[in-house]
Structure 1
Amino acid sequence: MQSNYKKLGDYVQPVNNRNTDLKVETLLGVSIQKILIPSIANTVGTNMKTYKIIKQNQFAYGPVTSRNGDKISIALLQEYDEAIISQAYTVFEVVDSNRLHPEYLMMWFRRPEFDRYARFKSHGSARETFDWEEMCEVELPIPSIKKQREIVKEYNTVINRIILNEQLNQKLEETAQALYKYWFEDFEFPNEEGKPYKSSGGAMVYNDELDKEIPEGWAVVFLSDKIEFKNGKSKPNQVGNIPIYGGNGILGYANKFNFENIIAIGRVGAYCGSLYYVPNKCWISDNAICGKSKNDNNLFSFYLLKSFNLNEKSEGTGQPLLTQGLLNSLILEYPNKNVIRKFEDVIQIVFDNIYQLLNETESLSTFQKLLLSKMTSVEEVKTEIV
């Protein structure tokens, strides 16, 4: 053991309080993202008296490590005063928070090195477990409580900034979607006088094919007339700095690209119909489809595709599936180019703000990882948040 390292077993103790009186109703589970989240388990007919009570600043972890890949399911309860979790979890707490800060300990558990250690120390034939005895053998640096609080404060400052950025981006995205709906579904785009078209008496004509009224002068087209679709390909083996997109977003990074300034569309499974606007070079993997505007208006096309709720239009019996043929066959009303140009001018400002926040979040995430890696030499951790 290194001189500044201590055994965790000297600082924690197990907790085994059961919900025998059924007073606690909030049921949580531990995710592989290492947070406690509301459980979606079917508990009909389940004896909830056997479930364990977990209180604020207590930990829960799943001893069975062979079912979650490389991640250990472990989390610290902070959002609730108390909750209940499955009896399959082990609950424990810090004995004296003036010696070991619970959030400092949770930082240690978030390190990928801890996951690797726990997987290595897991044992069993049918299923591998990281039991309580092994948890107590975990060694970590435990500086003064003052130093621990400083490190936790730094870490939380970074995390709170990341959360704020994500919330701001969510609001910006909602604003963009609301504007698209107002202009192109409610037909309240600005007329030549800058007033809302439909409510200001703009001419509407009935279209038999769509079975609804649309603004005069708008075309009725197939989606293939305006957007070109291509399937992605298997991701390259060599790592680089170009993002690889699949149905659930960025899967990794490659040293080459197959598309640029496009829309990535989830093609199959749980992420079928998911959409990502990618303004730069990227690699689209084989579980996604690339969409690119034929009229150089990818931002408008992105929200146009969102309006279709593509997951609901998917095919397949076993799992949802989108194909180029299905996308190409969709019919829609299409605005004139002047309205689209005005929309893109407005939305470009929104997206510039979104990507500025995304870039800041990426830098903050890098600093977050640095703080976790520096825990092995805690005296080197510095406050460098800009």
Structure 2
Amino acid sequence: MNCKISEAKPNYSELGNYIREINERNRDLTITNLLGVSMEKTFIPSVANLNGVDLSIYKILRNEQLACKLMSVGRDEKLPVDLYKEHEPSIVSSAYYVFEPKNKEELLPEYLMMWLCRPENDRYIGFISGGDVRGGISWDTFCSLPIKVPSITKQREIVKEYNVIQNRIELNQKLIQKLEECAQAIYKRWFVDFEFPDENGKPYKSNGGEMVLGEFGEAPKGWSSKQLQDLCKVVDSLHTTPEYSSTGLPMVRITDINTGFLNLTNTMRVDEDTFQKFSKNHKSKKGDILVSRVGATFGEFSYAHTNEKFCLGQNTAVIIPKIFDSKLMYTALTTSNTRNQVEAKAVGSAYNTLSLQDIKGLTFVLPEKDFEKITSALTDKFDVLFSNISLYSQENSCLIKMRHLLLSKLATIEK
């Protein structure tokens, strides 16, 4: 068990031979942009309350350096790590390790990041962390991880191929964002600004449509506030943690729910029996709207745009529209008004939590009568928008699988 990596795995070396830790602190407090790293291996703005926090002990992160967190990697079976590509420096918590290649003519930062993104790497880290109560590993253990380093020419070829896939994913994501923004703008014009077409086809409010003062401010005559429970069925998940499997059927956890279309590519898997157990309250279908009830993604909503099967993991819930088109309902749930309601319910709570009653109590201002007549034209527009979003999302799912395949093949590449 004490043999070296090179003895156990020919053509492999220890990661520590190629990287060095960077421990540059924010002593003069000139840098205030604080980042964290998500389980999806991307930098995210920190939401921590920094009042009274001494930022001088935080670590500086510079271009082409990487940051990772080694706590709980065994429990999560994922290494939160990302490569910093911005030219202006940022800071990360002192709980993170910042590091870089010792020699960029020997190991490219981009290739290093690709290696650390491999699913096999995550599983290996989960395996070797077994002795730690919290599932963490030390920096020394991290440095002992195996890595295969081909020639710098080969690395550049691999990175170029990877970037072709990654750039297409990012382009599709930008197109998806534009389409989602378009949907939001249309929804806002009709249900927030009340400029839906009147009987003459003209914008209602700006053309003298009658407005009355209600519970939530001014609204068209004949409109009133309705709770989500009046519009949808809300189904809770089981309050238990299953045993995951490396293969099987997808289980959607809170970390899989981020505002946008549901992506099942990276979800944890469960066996058939577990899947059936966690599907007893609800059989998944296209048009389902999922919500995360706790944690960093609390109050986020995802839209199931295909009929691909999944079951609900702990602390999630599914929203099933009854009288509201699912695409309109999802758009309503992702407006700033709904987000404000969600955040208001978390005030005073040490840990962001959204109860089932909180979800059912979300309110929307809608017409009392002729709802389908008013929204029929809008539904046609949303069908086109969501159809295009679905196409780009499905293409990205295929590209992500290609990316995973490329990452998995790194271990077979010769120098």
TM over 0.5: yes
Aligned partner of residue 206 in structure 2, secondary structure: coil
What corresponds to 1:383 in structure 2? none
Query: Does the aligned pair in 1 maintain the 2:20–2:102 contact within 8 Å?
Result: yes
What corresponds to 2:390 in structure 1? 355
Cα distance change on mapping 1:195 and 1:112 into 2, 3 Å:
same
Give ranges in structure 1 of 5+ residues lacking alignment.
Answer: 381-386
1:162 aligns with 2:188: no
Cα distance change on mapping 1:346 and 1:144 into 2, 3 Å:
same
Query: Does the aligned pair in 2 maintain the 1:223–1:329 contact within 8 Å?
Result: yes
Within a 5 Å distance, the mapping from 1:64-213 to structure 2 comes to: 64-65=71-72, 69-122=76-129, 130-201=137-208, 203-204=209-210, 206=212, 212-213=218-219
Query: Does the aligned pair in 2 maintain the 1:210–1:332 contact within 8 Å?
Result: no
Write the letter of the residue equivalent to 2:291: G
Of Structure 1 and Structure 2, the greater strand share is in 1
What corresponds to 1:384 in structure 2? none
Query: How far is 1:19 from its partner?
Result: 4.1
CA distance in 1, matches of 2:20, 2:215: 69
1:323 aligns with 2:357: yes
What corresponds to 1:293 in structure 2? 322
Listed one character per residue, the Cα deviations across residues 122-143 of structure 1 (whole Å, up to 9, x for unaligned) are: 4866666534443443332221
Could you state the TM-score of these two structures normalised by the residue count of structure 1? 0.77
Cα distance change on mapping 1:273 and 1:333 into 2, 3 Å:
farther
CA distance in 2, matches of 1:328, 1:54: 40
What corresponds to 2:410 in structure 1? 375
Query: How far is 1:144 from its partner?
Result: 1.6
CA distance in 2, matches of 1:89, 1:341: 51
Write the letter of the residue equivalent to 2:89: E
Query: How far is 1:147 from its partner?
Result: 1.1
1:9 aligns with 2:35: no
Q: State which drifts further: 361-370 or 107-116.
A: 107-116
Q: State which drifts further: 241-250 or 330-339.
A: 241-250
Q: State which drifts further: 353-362 or 136-145.
A: 136-145
Cα distance change on mapping 1:194 and 1:245 into 2, 3 Å:
farther
Query: Does the aligned pair in 1 maintain the 2:228–2:359 contact within 8 Å?
Result: no
What corresponds to 2:233 in structure 1? 229
Query: How far is 1:226 from its partner?
Result: 6.6
Within a 5 Å distance, the mapping from 1:260-299 to structure 2 comes to: 260-266=285-291, 268-270=293-295, 274-281=300-307, 285=312, 287-294=316-323, 297-299=325-327
Aligned partner of residue 323 in structure 1, secondary structure: helix
Give ranges in structure 2 of 5+ residues lacking alignment.
Answer: 1-5, 270-274
What corresponds to 1:311 in structure 2? 342
CA distance in 2, matches of 1:155, 1:22: 37
Give aligned-pair identity as a percent.
Answer: 33
Query: How far is 1:45 from its partner?
Result: 5.3
Query: Does the aligned pair in 1 maintain the 2:35–2:90 contact within 8 Å?
Result: yes
Cα distance change on mapping 1:118 and 1:322 into 2, 3 Å:
closer
Listed one character per residue, the Cα deviations across residues 203-235 of structure 1 (whole Å, up to 9, x for unaligned) are: 4264778774515xx565855897341424549
CA distance in 2, matches of 1:105, 1:278: 34
CA distance in 2, matches of 1:317, 1:47: 24
Residue-pair matches, total = 376
Larger radius of gyration: 1
